[in-house]
Amino acid sequence: MKSRDTKKAAKDAGEKEIKQLQQQIETLSREKQELFDKLQRVAADYANYQKRAPKQIADSVAYEKKAIIKSLLPSLDNFAHALASADNAEAVDGVVKGVRMVFEHMLDALKAHGLEQVESVGQDFDPMVHEAIQLRAEADKPDNVVLEEYQTGYMLNGRVVRPSKVIVNKLPTEDKGTEPEAAEAGEAIDTEGQKESPADTEKTDSEE
C-alpha cells in the first residue's frame, strides 16, 4: 500500500515538474518572439532612417543656401541701382553712397548667419586670428601691436574662416624669439619703419 502511494506521489511530482517546464518553455518562446519582433521593427526603422537621412541633410543644406542667397538679393538690387546711377557723371557721390550701402547690407546679412569681422588695428598681434605679412618699427606705438590691416579677417560662429592679413609693430629688442613671422621673408626692417630689400643690401656691399 505504501509502495503504491510512494509511486503515485513520485508520478504526480514528475507530472507537476513537467508541466512547470512546459510553462517555462512557453514563456521563453513567447519572450523570444516578442524580442524578435522588436528587433525586426528596429531594423526596419533603421533602414528607413538610412534612406531618409541623406535627403533630410540635402534638404537642410538647400534650405540654408536659399536663406543665405535670399538675404543677399537686396544687395544685388542695390548694386544694380548703383551701376545705373554710374552712367551719370554727376552722380559720383550717389554711386559711392550706393556701393557703401551694398557693402553694409551684405555684411549685415552675413552677420545674421554667424559671420563676424576680426578686430585688428590697435589690437595685440594674435597668431590665432592674424597673419603678419610685414613688420614695421614705430617707436610711438606699443610693441607687437597691429598697425595696419591689409585684408580683413572673418570668423563664423567663433571659428576663423580667414585670418586678417596685417602689418605688425616690432620694436628693436635683444630677444627676437617672440617676433611674429612676416609673410614677406627677406625684407629687412630698420628702426624708422623703412624696408630694405636684399637687392639694396647686395648693392651696398658691392660698393664697399
141-199: pLDDT as tens digits: 999 999 999 988 998 888 898 999 999 999 886 654 545 555 543 343 443 444 444 44
Backbone angles phi, psi at 135, to 5 degrees: -110, 145
Do β-strands 146-151 and 154-156 pair in parallel, antiparallel, or remain unpaired? unpaired
- pLDDT at position 182 is 55
C-alpha cell, 204: 651696398
Give me the residue label for grid cell 664697399.
208
Burial readout 38-55 (b: 16 or more C-beta within 10 A, e: otherwise): eeeeeeeeeeeeeeeeee
- pLDDT at position 61 is 81
**Integer Cα distance of 173 and 188 in angstroms:** 15
**Integer Cα distance of 116 and 203 in angstroms:** 46
- DSSP tag of 173: -
**Integer Cα distance of 54 and 59 in angstroms:** 9
Three-state DSSP class for residue 81? helix
- pLDDT at position 17 is 80
Mean pLDDT by 10 residues, the chain (208 residues): 66 77 87 89 87 85 79 76 67 74 84 88 94 92 93 88 92 62 45 43 44
- pLDDT at position 47 is 86
pTM (2 d.p.): 0.52
CA 194 to chain centre: 38
